[in-house]
Amino acid sequence: MAANGASLERRSSVRRSGSTVREEPPPAEEHAAAATGPSDMDVLKEKFSKLLLGEDMSGSGKGVPSALALSNAITNLAAAVFGEQRKLEPMAPDRKARWKKEVGWLLSVADHIVEFVAKKQVLDNGVEMEVMGTQQRRDLQSNIPALRKIDAMLLDYLDNFKDRNEFWYVKRDSCSESEKEEAGSDEKWWIPVVKVPPNGLPPASRAWIQHQKELVNQVLKAAMAINANCLMEMAIPECYLESLPKNGRVSLGDALYRNITDVEFDPDEFLSSVDLTSEHKICDLKDRIEASVIIWNRKVHNKDGKSAWGSAVSQEKREQFEERAQTLLLIIKHRFPGIPQSTLDIAKIQENRDVGFAILESYSRVLESLAYNVMSRIEDVIISDNVAREKAKKDLPPGTEPAPTPLPEGADSMTLLDFMGWNGDAEGKAEDKSPSAADQDDGRLMKLPNIMTNLKNTYMDVLGGHRSPPGRH
């Protein structure tokens, strides 16, 4: 009887366990989540967990500072979203939605960066008194909305190329050698080759594409100005100062030093005398000039701890050399906007501890990169059109003139100044939207409105002196 009772108990327990298993099938929500991917809340938790851990997933406290983690997050997001934008076409809806959503999460940190300001408060008895209140930091309050508008304009410019069938793209592997040479070098082998009709673009399309280039160029200049101002506000790291040579001659080299210290100095002649045929050479020249600027500035204000009595170069000469070097840096940055960051910029970003600066610098940098890529793709279309027109011109009968180019159809499109509500002087109005060829070759910017920066000492002020007289932008 005891054995029969034990067997019955075992069978009943088996039935109970089996029924329990049958009563717990996987929920339908888990199947849906697996099919559609992680939810927004899961992605948000993952992103901010990485920010709090400083990208050190072991949790051992060896991660990077919060400012650098946030800068890397914005940079990596832009690389994932915009890295596939290789053609002049609207962004895919899923990538556009992801960018707007996730960059909004990361920028929300700026809403909680505040500063104390004096405010007037009226008590119940009518007495007015001044109290301290908080508001968003002024540089963020001014520049974050401006960058958001630049972001929206770039996406709108890409949307303008929807259903444009005047040009198309083919894979580089399917082109002949002559077509590859016309398209440019093979360094960017992942960029498809743009094709236009045999006689080139129609006149109206040619004018429209040129107008789009001018609009994107305005946005590029605005993003570059904000990024340059933000980098200028960041302090120079001590590790960079310790790596500097002892004087400007050692930094520049004898040949460059003679050119920049010559009595008759011309920045255009200086740049035409140096080799700027590759990105590496341009970055090397920029690094040398930036290092010499800081060396001269420290010597002018005696921040290197050495006496200037035994120096063969006067203080006035050093100030003049610093001003010339600043001019060269400005021209290089705007003549070659797509070059990588300099050693000084990288050091500033890595050693920066100000989260507000990290947000402004990274957001403006990724928008500058997107604007530059869009303008490069537009220039590819213009180059292909010019090549096709030159070929077609050879087949024209003698004495035949090409048809004049009409005004662009989208000439009334909203420009950067209209979109952002900036009211500049005559240099920023509609008649100057098309910069002359001389201005483009010179690399100098159109006049932009003043951009708000945090009221902290710049690195020139930290060194103990004033900035060079010429404006940077």
For residue range 362-379, list pLDDT tens digits in order.
999 999 999 999 999 999
User: What pLDDT score was predicted for residue 193?
Assistant: 86
Q: Containing H/E element for 114?
A: strand 114-122
Tallying the residues shown for the chain, one arrives at 473
Higher pLDDT, 222 or 13: 222
Q: Identify the residue whose tokens are 């045999």.
A: 198
For the cut 60, the answer to whether the pLDDT of residue 417 exceeds it is no
**Helix, strand or coil for residue 168?**
strand
21 vs 25: CA distance, rounded Å: 8
Of 324, 323, 295, the closest CA to residue 311 belongs to 295
**Helix, strand or coil for residue 251?**
helix
User: What pLDDT score was predicted for residue 123?
Assistant: 86
Contact 219, 150 (CB under 8 A): yes
For the cut 60, the answer to whether the pLDDT of residue 8 exceeds it is no
For the cut 90, the answer to whether the pLDDT of residue 410 exceeds it is no
Of all residues in the chain, the percent with pLDDT exceeding 70 is 70
The DSSP annotation for 122-167 comes to E-TTS-EEEEEEEEE-HHHHHHHHHHHHHHHHHHHHHHTTTT--SS
Of 371, 306, 363, the closest CA to residue 337 belongs to 371
pTM assigned to the model: 0.75
User: What pLDDT score was predicted for residue 79?
Assistant: 94
Rounded to 10°, the helix 343-351/279-300 angle is 70
272 vs 278: CA distance, rounded Å: 14
Higher pLDDT, 410 or 300: 300
Of all residues in the chain, the percent with pLDDT exceeding 90 is 39
Please write the tens of the pLDDT for every residue from 154-175: 999 999 999 888 898 888 776 6
Please write the tens of the pLDDT for every residue from 248-282: 889 999 999 998 988 888 999 999 989 998 889 99
What token pair was written down for 417?
């100044």
CA distances for 53 relative to 107, 123, 355, 422, 425, angstroms? 18, 45, 15, 40, 48
User: What pLDDT score was predicted for residue 444?
Assistant: 35
**Helix, strand or coil for residue 424?**
coil
CA atoms 454, 457, 458, 459: torsion sign: negative
Provide the pLDDT confidence category of residue 119 given band limits of 50, 70 and 90.
Answer: confident
Ramachandran region of residue 342, left (φ > 0), alpha (ψ -120 to 50) or beta?
Answer: beta
Rounded to 10°, the helix 203-233/315-335 angle is 140
User: What pLDDT score was predicted for residue 66?
Assistant: 92
Provide the pLDDT confidence category of residue 19 given band limits of 50, 70 and 90.
Answer: very low
Residue-wise over 91-101: b if at least 16 C-beta within 10 A, else e? beeeeeebbee
For the cut 50, the answer to whether the pLDDT of residue 237 exceeds it is yes
User: What pLDDT score was predicted for residue 105?
Assistant: 93
What token pair was written down for 103?
């960059």
Average pLDDT, the chain: 78
